[in-house]
Amino acid sequence: MHDRILAIVVYLMNRLTDHQGALSNFDEMSADLKSMGYTDNEISSAYTWLLKHFEDYPESFSFRDDRIKGNRSVRVLSEQEKKVVSPESYGYLMQLRHLGLLTTEQLEMILDRISLFGSDPVDIDEIKLMASAAMFEGGGSEYPYAIWVGDPESEPIN
């Protein structure tokens, strides 16, 4: 379920970015999302989470080209990380970071958790699950070294 809400949040943030922070018509966007197969509950949950995120991290939501002013660094994967994180998966994480949906700390936490999987490549679905856990489950403040495996509703493993 969290991965579906994450997809809606990414859609909304892309719309916000395209329109420099202005959303045109919530009803139209909701209708578009419903036509993509999302439920009213999922759409409502995404809106609620996004509004709460705006409140908690207002600095993440500057929709100007210079929004990363003062923080222009780019995270480069180590050779080991490149073996387990596909370009598609890394691009997805960078998109979430660029949109202000992941903090630098959450990004690092996800990459640390990937290294715990060993040498097996992590696919995009697993990346989405980890990003969802980081975003919707608090990202590790309660369980700093936990890994979410399988069902996002399950308890983290310490």
Q: What is the dihedral of CA 131, 134, 136, 137, to 10 degrees?
A: 140
pLDDT band at 142 (very low <50, low <70, confident <90, very high): very low
On the question of pLDDT at 121 being above 90, the answer is: no
d(C-alpha 103, C-alpha 135), whole Å: 9
1-5, 92-96, 145-149: least confidently modelled range? 145-149
Segment 11-43, tens digit of pLDDT: 988 888 777 666 667 788 889 999 999 999 999
Angle at 100 between CA 147 and CA 128, to 5 degrees: 35
How many Cβ atoms are within 10 Å of 155's Cβ, its own excluded?
9
pLDDT band at 61 (very low <50, low <70, confident <90, very high): low
Query: What is the reported pLDDT for 147?
Result: 40
> What would the mean pLDDT of 66-81 be, rounded to a whole number?
67
pLDDT band at 72 (very low <50, low <70, confident <90, very high): low
Structure-block tokens of residue 36: 């993509």
Query: What is the reported pLDDT for 80?
Result: 86
Q: How far is CA 77 from CA 81, 84, 133, 141, in A?
A: 6, 10, 21, 24
Number of residues assigned to the chain? 158
2-20 burial: b if 16+ Cβ within 10 Å, else e:
bebbbbbbbbbbeebeeee
Q: How far is CA 136 from CA 4, 21, 49, 61, 117, in A?
A: 12, 22, 8, 18, 21
Query: What is the reported pLDDT for 151?
Result: 44
